[in-house]
Structure 1
Amino acid sequence: MYVTFSAAGWGRRRRVGVWAAAAGVVASLVSGASTAEGAPVAQAARPFVGPTGVLAQVHTAGRVKDTGNTVQYSWPGVYFEGRVSGTGVGIALNDSAADYDVQVDGTTVATLVTPGNTTHWINGLSNRTHTVRLVKRNDTPWDTSAFGGFVAAPGGAVLSKPAARKRQIEFIGDSLTVGYGNLSTSRTCTSDQLRRTTNSDVSYGALTARRLNADYQINGYSGLGMVRNYNGGRPDVTYRTFYDRALQNVPGDVWQNPGTWRPQVVVVNLGTNDFSTAVNPDEPWTPDSLAAAYRSAYGDFLQKLRTRYGTGTTIVAVGAGQYAGHVQQVVKARNDAGDRRVRHWFLDDSGLDFLGCDWHYSAHDDRVISDRLTPFIAGLPRVW
């Protein structure tokens, strides 16, 4: 069953994706996919198998688990960038839950809707070198996604991967950070409409990172809060339960930082789910105890980030709505204790239309927020 909740809602469905690709499997056509010439083309699947695996041919900054011939991941907005020569490129995937955009030379040429176990081909390209980008559009925390690399069409080749960007930004949050339903034309969405209209690649975080020419992670989980989830749901877990994981549906999983992820900026936007609904009679909170627990947990979480990334990383704590004052208090306490690289940023919601699913940010809102956040980050002292 897939259940969605409004506000910073969360969805849950249980399924684990297992990579089972084999060379010679004929590619199945994917709903919503197209080639550069507008007509789907299927060819024999030839997953890339290099001497040191997929990560030898692609650049990614996302939280992935390297299994050699594939990489696995769960978080939204994970992207893979590569270079190929020739007239076509194949994208080897095993994912029956998430949607993807395929971009060639900066233009989106296909949207893959729950592609399953396949190699999807983009053909009809000019015979030259091309940049290819695959990006996971939505959040599927109940599932494990797998990517088997890019494949060159006959006569072409997979080339050396693009260089990593010198700047890195990590975005931490809930559905508002994910991009929940931000492409919707209606605030009322079915579960299927929500999945199709969520696009982390046009969320405020992704937009801000690209404007600053930074690699990024979008570590967002819909419906979860710092200490309380939307409407008191799932009281056994919070966002902090999952933050350390690469695979969100695997209890106890811990992402192993390869040593290349050293963000100069971490943006934390958690609090909407904690405070957007009234405390229910069966919850163990009063308004005062909830606020106190939130501030305490927030302070501990900032310390966790400081320990993980060191004193050179600037942490931007986002305050908005009912939780803005609490965030300000937490930031002040950190500053008073000598940590001057924790900064408060007030998210001004003036001019936002909240036309995304269930009154979430629309793509318009994401652009407005990025327009305001980008210069704030760019103006921080001693960041880059």
Structure 2
Amino acid sequence: MQTPPHLSRRTVVAAAAAGIVTASASPVRASGTRARFHTVGRVSRAADGSVAYTWPGVQFEGRFRGTGVGIVLDDADNDYDVHIDGASAATLVTPGRTTFRIENLPDGVHTVRLVKRTESPWAVGRFGGFLPAPEGAVLAAPRARGRQIEFIGDSFTAGYGNLSDTRDCSGNGGVNRNSSADLAFGALTARKLDADHQLNAFSGRGMVRNYNGGSAGTDFRTYYDRALLNVDGDVWRRPDSWRPQVVVIGLGINDFSTPLHAGERWATEDELTAAYESAYHGFLDRLRASYGPRTFLVVSATDLGNTAVFVQATRRIVQERNRRGDHRVRHWYYADAGLDHLGCDWHPSLRDHRIIAGRLGDHLASLPLRW
């Protein structure tokens, strides 16, 4: 990893080609100025002010005065990106329990953004806050953005393998080293619109059926209400401030992309489709109850697997909601013409995510949003 010119060689240690960054061990707790950060995404807050999280793309934004900043972390599984003043400063690969320090900045007021790149739903990350350099100070947290978008989906939404230029990532660092939720289409769209966002995505999960029929008895809906995906019965406490103007839902690829197997709950494709549509209506009811009648709910579909069944089912769902009088449920279909699917395991590449983000931006521009 090449050290940016404003970072100290003493504090940034490159290890192999992966760009591993190490720093001093530190307890993970937040108190006083450490709690001054803006959170983007779902977290579980501890009494000491630190936060735990599992969803991809969770990020923390702060402001500080001085020549450097410390980032208090405890996570031996996930990868992170650090941005200073809007520019990429470092990538932390499975940092463990550490205080990562950036030093030798010009003395003044700076912004810092820490973002969780990877998915790893069973590995809890913990963030203990930002620390000032000597004679510096952590300033009041950046204000929340007025625009809010929630993205719900699977591996496509999570940015699975999007940094890879080869579909077989087994010898290329694996999926985690080749994934960045911060460069998935949802995050790209949100940044372009200057919106806070949630990336509530879980690879392999469908609305009623998971990829290839796996993990029977659970599906995306099992986990949606949680802050910590690995804790049965966990419930995310939604703050009153989180009321997105748009929710984009991308669930269905895993339901329909592989054939049914003997022993599954659905004997035929028609039975699966009926169950999918019924569950989808129930899920939309949950979102309406949570976010109210003004939020746009965007039901998305794309070309993959059994495209005709997937797209037709989502169109029927939207048509039925509209027939019932809810005209803020919309359909967004993006064809994969022009996508190369060069990411890990035939997932969208970074180029693809940029294309999808552009198409989503066009769709959102067509909605009568007042934000």
Q: Same fold (TM over 0.5)?
A: yes
Matches within 5 A, 1:345-360: 345-360=332-347
Distance change (3 Å), C-alpha of 1:40 and 1:362: farther
Distance change (3 Å), C-alpha of 1:240 and 1:34: farther
Secondary structure of 1:60's aligned partner? strand
Q: Distance in 1 between matches of 2:184 and 2:141?
A: 25
Partner of 2:167: 187
Distance change (3 Å), C-alpha of 1:235 and 1:169: same
User: Would the aligned equivalents of 1:80 and 1:134 in 2 still touch at CA under 8 Å?
Assistant: yes
Deviation, structure 1 residue 61: 2.7
Q: Distance in 1 between matches of 2:53 and 2:228?
A: 6
Deviation, structure 1 residue 304: 0.7
AA in 2 matched with 1:39: R
AA in 1 matched with 2:322: N
Residue 361 (str. 1) matches residue 348 (str. 2) = yes
Residue 311 (str. 1) matches residue 288 (str. 2) = no
| Runs (5+) with no aligned partner, structure 1 | 1-31
Partner of 2:18: none
Q: Distance in 2 between matches of 1:96 and 1:116?
A: 4
Distance change (3 Å), C-alpha of 1:382 and 1:103: closer
Residue 254 (str. 1) matches residue 230 (str. 2) = no
Partner of 1:373: 360
Residue 37 (str. 1) matches residue 7 (str. 2) = yes
Deviation, structure 1 residue 226: 0.3
Deviation, structure 1 residue 65: 1.1
- Structure 1 residue corresponding to 2:102, chosen from 122, 142, 147: 122
Partner of 1:293: 275
Q: Distance in 1 between matches of 2:90 and 2:198?
A: 22
User: Would the aligned equivalents of 1:97 and 1:114 in 2 still touch at CA under 8 Å?
Assistant: yes
TM-score using structure 1 length: 0.88
User: Would the aligned equivalents of 2:50 and 2:127 in 1 still touch at CA under 8 Å?
Assistant: yes
Q: Distance in 1 between matches of 2:302 and 2:332?
A: 9
Secondary structure of 1:135's aligned partner? strand
AA in 2 matched with 1:71: V
Residue 113 (str. 1) matches residue 93 (str. 2) = yes
Q: Distance in 2 between matches of 1:48 and 1:127?
A: 26
| Runs (5+) with no aligned partner, structure 2 | 12-22
Deviation, structure 1 residue 69: 2.9
Once the two structures are superposed, what CA deviation does each residue of 1:131-159 show, in whole Å capped at 9, x if it has no partner? 00000001011111100001111111101
User: Would the aligned equivalents of 1:48 and 1:151 in 2 still touch at CA under 8 Å?
Assistant: no
Residue 213 (str. 1) matches residue 200 (str. 2) = no
- Structure 2 residue corresponding to 1:132, chosen from 112, 115, 134: 112
Distance change (3 Å), C-alpha of 1:143 and 1:43: closer
Partner of 1:149: 129
Distance change (3 Å), C-alpha of 1:383 and 1:287: farther
Q: Distance in 2 between matches of 1:58 and 1:113?
A: 22
Q: Distance in 2 between matches of 1:44 and 1:138?
A: 22
User: Would the aligned equivalents of 2:8 and 2:102 in 1 still touch at CA under 8 Å?
Assistant: no
Secondary structure of 1:215's aligned partner? strand
TM-score using structure 2 length: 0.91
